[in-house]
Amino acid sequence: MKILVTGARGFIGKNLIAELNNQKYTNIIEYTRDTDPALLDAYCQEVDFVFHLAGVNRPQEQSEFMDGNFGFTKTLLDSLKKHGNTCPVLIASSTQAALDNPYGKSKKAGEDLMIAYGQETGARVLIYRFPNVFGKWCRPNYNSAVATFCYNIARDLPITVNDPSVVMHLVYIDDVVEELINALLGRENSDGVFCAVPVVHTITLGEIVDLIYSFKRSREERSVPNMSDEFTRKLYSTYLSYLPKDKFGYPLKMNVDDRGSFTEFIKTPDRGQVSVNISKPGITKGNHWHHSKNEKFLVVSGTGVIRFRKVGSGEVIEYYVSGDKLEVVDIPPGYTHNIENLGDTDMVTIMWANECFDPEKPDTYYLEV
């Protein structure tokens, strides 16, 4: 199958082509601003599907709206018609096509061309009126508030929010690409000619900004946001894609003493926290118990033993652990416990606790195993 993608270097185009490549589509024709226009006619003679993603949204002159969003669409459809090629054509339009402004009018004119073309030729025509699309590889400080906010906040640059109460309707780039490939396979989410991305997120501008600032703080707080919220998860992924290249890493606070170290790695609002514990040879750590807090220990390097004793009982339970055979050991409440390094090298243990440590309510009581 030969697939033509116009606007191949644009935000949606780059993401779509990357996923088409991932799915082993090998015959993709990329049409960009730098492509020789004379090649379009040859492409239209042989393609089996057209993703028409090219468009103009930030021109120097308003007349460029109509030239780019109507004129190029007409050139494309006329070329397909000339060669009798009735392959499916999908166009990326905008929700602004319903508005009375120069950009919206040009998008609506392109839609009308598509509808008329489908009626005349019998070709399968698909029109997507996208709201704001966000995600990786979107150009900041251009026409995407989300991209601009992520880019600027990650760099401590100022942002402008004129009205935080403005309601935004957004679709995530991965959801867009999934829907476009569904359309390629004839499984589009459609109502006749018009199609839509199934998942649209509605949120205020102020809420978006608050979330992005919280993502920035999360690195200092050693936390990650609530990933059960779909929009938060997608926006967090987007924010990370705009980090400066020298800011991918960030330091953690290591609590070091003569026994080794203890370092908090990740805190979550609803799934507890993960820490890294390093014990020197011969060292025993722990000897405490909890009423409600529970933990999971995973030794990833070195050898040791985890000992338990139910509070009030004299029976000691032992689990021998090693980085050579990864095994998770649950630490239940009501059992005093410790972990001893039996090897000649440092023992590294990944520890998960079901709740983040609260110094006001530590739920930790000293008791020798």
> For the chain, what are the domain ranges?
3-209, 254-366
Catalytic positions: 103
Measured between alpha carbons, how far is 123 from 116 in angstroms, rounded to an integer?
10
The strands making up 303-310's β-sheet, listed across from edge to edge, are 316-322, 303-310, 335-341, 284-289, 365-366
Categorize the per-residue pLDDT at 104 as very low, low, confident or very high, splitting at 50, 70 and 90.
confident
Name the 3-class secondary structure at 301: strand
Measured between alpha carbons, how far is 222 from 292 in angstroms, rounded to an integer?
23
Instruction: Name the nearest CA neighbour of 333 among 365, 285, 300.
Output: 365
**Average pLDDT over all residues of the chain:** 95
Q: What is the pLDDT of residues 217-256, one digit of tens each?
A: 999 999 999 999 999 999 999 999 999 999 999 999 999 9
pLDDT tops 70 at residue 61 = no
Q: pTM score, two decimals? A: 0.91
Amino acid 296: pLDDT: 98
57-71, 131-145, 181-195: least confident range: 57-71
With respect to CATH, is domain 254-366 assigned 3.30.720.120? Answer: no
CATH, range 3-209 = 3.40.50.720
